[in-house]
Amino acid sequence: MGLLKSFVTVGTPFASMLIYVFYIGYQKRSRIYRLSQQGVAMPDGWSWWFGHLLVLDQKLEKLPHDANVHIAMEDMIKDYEDTGYFLMDYWPVFEPVLMAFSPEISAQVSSKQDLLKPPSQEESFKPMVGGPSLITMIGTPWKFWRSLFSSGFSPSHMLSLVPGLVDTMDVFCERLLDNVDGDIFYLDDMAMPCRASTCPLSEYYSRLAFLLESSNPSEPAKASNPMVPWAFHGYFHQKELQKRFNEMKEERATNSSYQRKTAKSVIALAIEEHISQKHKDSEETFEDLDLDAQFADIAANQIRMFLFAGNDTTATTFVYTFHLLSQNPSSLDKLRKEHDGVFKSELDAGDQLRKEPALIIQCRYTLAVIKETLRLFPPASAIRDGTAGISVVDGKGNLVPTENLNVTAVHHYVHVHPRFWPRARDFIPERWLVEPRHELYPTSPTTSYRPFEHGPRNCIAQTLVNNELRVAVIMTARKFDIKPAYDEWDSRRSEREGTWTRTMRTLCLKGEEPKTVLGERAYQTARSGAHPADRYPCRVSLANP
């Protein structure tokens, strides 16, 4: 009797949980089934038990283990070019997703309907960002912080930062010089610390970059836990925000003729606005004001958000720019000739850029190279949360409901859609310089080119990113030749294989893992920011020894 009672006591909650899971699963799958019956585009292979998880797994088996999951959908994209989307049921791993790869649907999602970010994004970014940020905020909080930061990212302010970007690139060029004619090194690893020291978030950012680079855990630890360097950010940012708050309120208290400065970091702008608002809403003197804890928490999150988002995406684009230039020598030659024309015979353009930051605007072909790189290797896609009562119109004119679905604009495929991009897979910077009637000119470039997205939630820092990349290319392209070294790197890795692995291969019990995606060895990986495979092993030499 006692045994039976124990069994009932333990088994009842378990059975209840099992019934609940089956009930929720049935509800989720029933919704997808009804959508398929209504004509919503969906790949074959869907099942009541697994949705499309087995379909995706079959696709991923044909790719390297770390390949970006969106790449696995290449053949499905071709099957649904007429609709511009298809539905993938990933539950219970993720919510079901409308995978949109047409510019029209992408524009509806981001601009016309302006769907919100899904709640799951905040949890996904929390380990890096710490909590609510511009990436995940919605409604009034998002509008407040977006408006607050806008002036800090104005084009004129971004241009004033060029001398600082030059200083950073001087350090990077020295590091490249150290590797000239040396052994293989990882350009992706080198680019990340470089990018971190350029972000104009605060006056103390260079110290933060120094601390990040000084934390040097062993290589296995970095690989298994890439978030380790982020662990101290919350404490460090809170401390520095408090220090900056005290400095600024003291300046306001002691300087009766105080006026806002036009060029300052976005965080300084936020603190200044916070001081002004607190002083306005209270009868306290400037000396008696305290930094609001909630404001400090969110401001710290915003710092981490800019650091995280900017670090990954800009560094990735920098690496892919040189990868594509190494594969397209005629484009590299045109780029160098442009720099010769703008900066004359000076190989080191840094001094000229410090004196005349606006010279980067004259480098039109350089910007075209960067835009073409972002087209072929976009560092991210855009995901939005479907809403009851809101539908998108597909390529056939059908209404597709978004309720209980996520909608992802897959930039990788939007950017190579053959209906919008002539010679879509080719690297052709000239397409950004031709007149609208030219055969290379893209159809509807305002909607078919979306690395920074469009609509109210477009990337606030896109001008900064373009300036950073232009300065980086200007200061390195004429000095260095950077070549991928994947063949040599693969050979070395093969030589390091253990006896057990070799035996398994000999007995045909372990096959060779694919090393390329669509013929590209430097394929985009699942790592945040879509970094190149294996951190981009390469060699560097002087362009004019």
184 or 313, higher pLDDT: 184
Token pair in block for residue 15: 């059975």
Would strands 391-393 and 185-186 be described as parallel, antiparallel, or unpaired?
A: unpaired
Domain residue ranges in the chain: 2-105+377-430+441-448
Is residue 141 over pLDDT 70? Answer: yes
Tell me how far CA of residue 251 lies from CA of 24, 28, 32, 281, in angstroms: 58, 58, 60, 19
368-377, 390-399, 454-463: lowest mean pLDDT where? 454-463
pLDDT band at 505 (very low <50, low <70, confident <90, very high): low
Compute the average pLDDT of residues 520-538. Answer: 93
Torsion on CA atoms 95, 101, 107, 111, rounded to nearest 10? 20
Count the Cβ atoms, other than its own, within 10 Å of residue 304: 22
Instruction: Please report the pLDDT score of residue 263 as a whole number.
Output: 45
Instruction: Please report the pLDDT score of residue 234 as a whole number.
Output: 63
- Calpha distance 512→502 (Å, rounded): 11
Instruction: Please report the pLDDT score of residue 501 as a whole number.
Output: 63
Count the Cβ atoms, other than its own, within 10 Å of residue 287: 11
**Class of residue 238 by CB neighbours under 10 A (exposed 0-12, middle 13-18, buried 19+):** middle
CA nearest 88: which of 59, 52, 55? 52
- Calpha distance 346→59 (Å, rounded): 50
Count the Cβ atoms, other than its own, within 10 Å of residue 91: 18
- Calpha distance 470→472 (Å, rounded): 5
Quote the radius of gyration of the chain (alpha carbons, Å).
26
pTM for the full predicted model: 0.88
Q: Are 315 and 188 in contact, with CB atoms under 8 Å apart? A: yes
215-229, 260-274, 389-403: lowest mean pLDDT where? 215-229
Q: Enumerate residues 6+ apart whose C-beta is below 8 A from 360.
A: 159, 162, 353, 366, 467, 470, 471, 474
Q: How big is the chain, counted in residues?
A: 545
The whole-chain average pLDDT of the chain stands at 84
7 or 386, higher pLDDT: 386
CA nearest 537: which of 487, 494, 496, 497? 487
Beta-strand runs (E) in 333-486? 382-385, 391-393, 399-401, 406-409, 480-484
- Calpha distance 259→511 (Å, rounded): 68
Q: What is the pLDDT of residues 27-81, one digit of tens each?
A: 999 999 999 999 999 999 999 999 999 999 999 999 999 999 988 888 888 899 9
Instruction: Please report the pLDDT score of residue 528 as a whole number.
Output: 81
100 or 297, higher pLDDT: 100
Compute the average pLDDT of residues 300-320. Answer: 84
Q: Is 194 annotated as a binding residue?
A: no
User: Maximum distance among all alpha carbons in the chain?
Assistant: 95
Displacement of CA 273 from its chain's centroid (Å): 29
DSSP 399: E
